[in-house]
Amino acid sequence: MTGARRNPLRFWPQYVAVSPFFLLFAAFGLFPLAFSAWLAFHRWDGISPVTFAGFDQFRFLVADATFRKAVVNTIIIWIMATVPMLFMSLGLASMLNSVKRFRTLYQVILFLPSVTSIVAVVIFFKAIFDNQVGVVNQVLEAIGLSGVQWLNGYWTIKIVLAVIMTWQWVGYNAIIYYAGLQAISGEVYEAAKLDGAGPLRTFWSITVPLLRPVIIFTVVVSTIGGMQTFAEPQVLFGSNASINPNSGGPGQAGLTMVLYFYQQAFNNNNYGYGAAIAYGVFAIVAVFTLINWRITARAEK
């Protein structure tokens, strides 16, 4: 800024163009971050006067095994949900691109889950994965297998959460990929065909590279969504709320970072510690941001 003191005026349209984001961000992003930082050095129950706590909250955070558990859970659930989902989305998108009839119908069907109320979605999956009377277990037993205690186990809880997230977002991502595929010129495929490339090769060496910006977009969005997983475990294990709210189910296997933050801040009225957790999450998310940044930077070339 200082080096180009006379220049900036010439670029006023560009500054005006980018200013809405930065103004809004200053008011509703930066200030809250700064306030959180201040809060992380204090104790506050949400109503009473705030008292200074020094580095206590961060000392607690470093020693907090439950927070570590929540971090691991979040990453595992994110991987289990995102990786298979994006592959399935890509597959569905190319199928959708190659069929000729019913495209609009398929699109509507693919889109529907993403606009369904999360509360209703989770109640549905809770019902079908019920340990005893769930449809999934009844089908398993009907074909001679034994039922699974879905909502009890460390891995099965994560599977259920991943299934919920996959169901809700697989079609949405497929539509985005499909729209990306639509933008790829047919000539490219004709050329590939003339070179004798098979469908798989065409897919890997033409479709995927050309879809790269779209794929990056979906990976970034899914990462952000995955790191913020909250409503799914909150609603899934919210029924015993009066005794032990938002603990993430048996073995706290469904306790995600944001759910833990919410529990500490809003259930336990420990806003100072909540702020410290927020910064812990921020640090972890920063690592993923760097990874994303690198991928993006490569795509720039």
Partner 1 sequence: MAAHDTATVDRKGPSRPAPVQKGKSVRNAAKWAHLPMVVASLLLLFPFYWTVVMATNTNADYYATPPKVVPGTHLLENIASVLTSINFFGSMANTAIVAVSVTVLVLFFDSLAAFAFAKYDFPAKKFLFGLMLAFFMVPAQLSTVPQFITMINIGWVGTLQALIVPAAANAFGIFWMRQYISTSIPDEILDAAVMDGCGFFRQYFLVVLPVIRPGLAFLGIYTFVQAWNDYVWPLIVLINPDMLTLQVALSQLNVSRGTDYAVVMAGAVLAIIPLIVVFLAFSKQFVADSVKGAVR
Partner 2 sequence: MNLSRRNLLLGSGLAALGAGALSACSTSAGGSGGSGGGSTSGLALWYWNGGLSDKVVEASKTQFPKDDIKPNKVGGDFKQKLQTTLTGGSFIPQITGVKGEDMPFFRSVADKFTDLNEFGAKDIAATQLAWKWAEAQTEDGKQLGFPIDIGPTATFYRADILEQAGLTSDPTAVAAATSTWDDFYAFGQELHGKVPASFPVPSLATVFQIIVGQLTNRFVGKDNTFTGGSDEMKQAWDTTVKAQALGINANAGQNLGPALAAGTIAMDLGAAWHALDISDAAPDTSGKWRIANNPVKPTNFGGSFLTIPSATEDKQAAFDVIKWILSTDNQGQAFTDATIFPADPAAWKLPALTGGDEFFGGQKTIDIFGPAGEKVPEQYVAASDSAVSAAYYNELTNVEANGKNPDQAWTDAVAAAKDIAQRQGVK
Give the separation between CA 136 and CA 128, rounded to whole angstroms. Answer: 6
In the structure encoding, which two tokens stand for residue 24, read together? 């809004």
Site string for partner 1, 278-297 (x = CB under 8 A): x--xx--xx-xx--xx--x-
**Contact yes or no for 206/188 (Cβ under 8 A):** yes
Closest CB to partner 2 among residues 85, 151: 151
* Of the residues 63, 99, 194, 200, which one makes contact with partner 2 according to CB under 8 A: 63
Smallest separation (angstroms) from partner 1 to the CB of 152: 19
Q: Any contact of residue 250 with partner 2 (CB under 8 A)?
A: yes
Cα gap 82→229, rounded to integer Å: 12
Identified binder of partner 2 from the candidate list 33, 37, 42, 60, rule CB under 8 A: 60
Is 187 a binder of partner 1 (CB under 8 A)? yes
DSSP string computed for 111-132:
HGGGGS-HHHHHHHHHHHT-TT
Q: Is 179 within 8 Å of 97 (Cβ atoms)?
A: no
Binding residue for partner 2, selected from 19, 116, 149, 182, defined by CB under 8 A = 149
Supply φ then ψ for residue 129, to 5 degrees: -100, 15
Q: What is the DSSP letter of 4?
A: G
* CB closer to partner 1 out of 100 and 144: 100
The gap between the terminal CA atoms of the chain, to the nearest Å, is 27
Task: For tokens 């790829």, name the residue.
Answer: 184
Binding mask 225-264 toward partner 1 (x if CB under 8 A, else -) reads --xx-xx---x--xx-xx--------------xx--xx--
**Rounded Cα distance, 279 and 256, in Å:** 15
Residues 6 or more apart in contact with residue 138 via CB below 8 angstroms:
147
Among 19, 117, 138, 152, binds partner 2 (CB under 8 A): 152
Find which of partner 2, partner 1, none residue 43 binds, CB within 5 to 8 Å per kind. Answer: partner 2
Rounding to the nearest 10 degrees, give the CA dihedral for residues 230, 236, 242, 245: -30
How far is Cα 82 from Cα 207, in angstroms, rounded to an integer?
20
Give 83 or 123: the residue with its C-beta nearer to partner 1.
123
Residue 143: CB minimum distance to partner 2, A:
21
Q: Does 48 bind partner 1 (CB under 8 A)?
A: no
Strand partners, 43: 51
Which of 126, 121, 140, 133 minimizes the C-alpha distance to 254?
126
Q: Which stretch binds partner 2 (CB under 8 A): 13-21, 80-88, 146-154, 183-191?
A: 146-154
Site string for partner 2, 65-84 (x = CB under 8 A): xx------------------
Pattern 90-129, binding to partner 1, x per CB under 8 A?
Answer: -xx--xx-xxxxxxx-xxxxxxxxxxxxxxxx-xxx-xx-
- Give the Cα separation of 267 and 244 in Å (integer): 9
Can residue 104 be called a binding residue for partner 2 (CB under 8 A)? no
Q: Which of 90, 93, 151, 165 binds partner 2 (CB under 8 A)?
A: 151
Q: Is 146 in the site for partner 2 (CB under 8 A)?
A: no
Q: Please check whether residue 263 is in contact with residue 271, taking contact to mean a CB–CB distance below 8 angstroms.
A: no
Question: What is the Cα–Cα distance from 236 to 134, expressed in whole angstroms?
Answer: 14
The correct pick among 50, 75, 206, 216 for binding partner 1 (CB under 8 A) is: 216
Judged by the rule CB under 8 A, the positions of this chain that interact with partner 2 are: 43, 45-48, 57, 60, 63-66, 130-133, 149, 151-154, 237, 239-240, 242-245, 247, 249-252, 266-270, 273
